[in-house]
Structure 1
Amino acid sequence: MSIIMELKGDGKSDDTEAFMKAWQVACSSGGAVLGVPGRQNYLLRPIKFSGPCKSEISVQIYGTIEASDKASDPHWLMFNSVEKLSVKGGGTINGNGMIWWQNSCRKSKSLVRYPCKVASTALTFYRCNNLTVEHLTVKNGQQIHVLFGDSQNVNVSGLTVTAPGDSPNTDGIHVSNTHHIHILNRPWYQGGSGSANNIQFQNILMFNVTNPIIIDQNYCDQATPCQKQKSAVQISNVLYQNINGTSASDVALQFDCSQNFECEGIVLQNIDLKLQRREKAKASCNSVALNYKGDVNPHCP
């Protein structure tokens, strides 16, 4: 069953209500296809597409969905508790993050002209089991571009995430409490407590990539130095294997782990990273336990 939406698609008129009405019809129908036509821009305020739904739903995005440019809006699209959801189509989700970046709390905690604002997430999937996301572009997120949370059996492929190089803290993909997630063929440029372990990065070709191998638990994106983090996620048992290519940054391999929670069981196997001009790259390592296998270049001093 194909759902037809009465959309303006001029990038100026608010299409939120039309999207919500169409979602309600799709969610209550069996095997619905919700299509977003191409070659048009659809302006949306914050919207939550909630389940549970009667049957599986396919959302096919061909055009561009744009978030409001008002700093008072939390700017997000959320799919909540939807089983067997498919989101695809080759279209674009544009978070219009510029208004947030100039008021970034990461840059200043006390902006005078504009209040510091905590930005939110462009696209969120929460409690969406048996989820498929493929062939989409998510650009200019307010902060996090895509979040997968509390979900199972998630397959992601052909997802492009992009933002300007000077955008503050625009994370690509966050995964939280999600099991059996597969992320394939994904180009993207862009604190807390707990643990991250048993992670593998294998068979990767880098071409002029900034920071091709990095774990940075003291990340700081402001002009003045940040304090060292006192708490961090415990990172352990991470394998970097068969990674070759060129680095755009002089330091191609960087581990700056927490002084309180050293990175443990980090394995580097068959690594060969050089600078774009074919010169030797550098490595920087702090608070990390490394194990080398095969030829590894560069080495930590």
Structure 2
Amino acid sequence: DYGAAQVLDISKFGGAPNSDITQAFASAWKEACASTTAVKIVIPSGTYKLNAIDVKGPCKAPIEVQVDGTIQAPTNQDEIKGADQWVKFSYMDSLTLSGKGVYDGQGATVWKQKAGGPAWSGKKSNKVFMVNINL
């Protein structure tokens, strides 16, 4: 039940609009994954940059990632640093992606470079839900 979940706002970890939140998200994820009660990571309204990231479980309790802003992938594929996906969730159990925000893979720019690959990936995961997601 996410209604009683602990809320972790990305700003608590140094995430701010118009900046790269990769490290802030990784820190929030680490705390959320270690929690024994449900956690909701919130990315509020605003525009944020997110580099390639591989967040891994298994986690101790359900996690919801609520995006109410716009998260943008890098437009320069050299910034992806060899990752084959932009956002990768591995070994998840009970993950919900929600919010009224947008995951912007920067497709128009990336595909011109002939360097685009899948934006999302899930590996060995169960009970992954997407609610009102805009890709």
Contact 2:76 2:110 in 1 (8 A): no
Is 1:102 the counterpart of 2:112? The answer is yes
TM-score after normalising by structure 1: 0.39
1:5 equivalent to 2:10? Answer yes
Q: Percent identity?
A: 29
Question: Where does 1:180-191 land on structure 2 (aligned, <5 Å)?
Answer: none
- Where 2:49 maps in the other structure, the secondary structure is strand
Q: Does 1:62 align with 2:68?
A: yes
1:46 has 2:52 as partner: yes
Amino acid in structure 2 at the alignment position of 1:49: V
**Matches of 1:100 and 1:60, distance apart in 2:** 25
1:82 matched residue in structure 2: 92
Equivalence for 2:3: none
**Contact 1:57–1:86 (CA<8 Å) still a contact in 2?**
yes
- Aligned to 1:17, the other structure's residue is in SS state helix
1:185-219 deviation line (CA, Å, top 9, x unaligned): xxxxxxxxxxxxxxxxxxxxxxxxxxxxxxxxxxx
Offset of 1:103 from its aligned partner? 2.7
- 2: CA distance, partners of 1:4 / 1:25: 12
Q: Is contact 2:54-2:87 (8 Å) kept?
A: yes
Residue of structure 2 equivalent to 1:133: 130
Identify which of structures 1 and 2 has the higher relative contact order when contacts are C-alpha pairs closer than 8 Å and 6+ apart: 2
Of 26, 36, 39 in structure 1, the residue corresponding to residue 32 of structure 2 is 26
Report deviation, 1:100.
Answer: 2.4
Mapped partners of 1:125, 1:90: distance in 2: 21
The yes-or-no answer on 1:37 pairing with 2:44 is: yes
Amino acid at match of 1:58: E
Deviation (angstroms), 1:87: 0.7
The alpha-carbon deviation at position 97 of structure 1 amounts to 1.9
Query: Which secondary structure does the structure 1 equivalent of 2:88 belong to?
Result: strand
Q: Which amino acid aligns with 2:126?
A: N
Q: What's the offset of the Cα at 1:99?
A: 2.9
Structure 2 stretches lacking a partner, 5+ long: 1-5
Q: CA deviation at 1:71?
A: 2.1
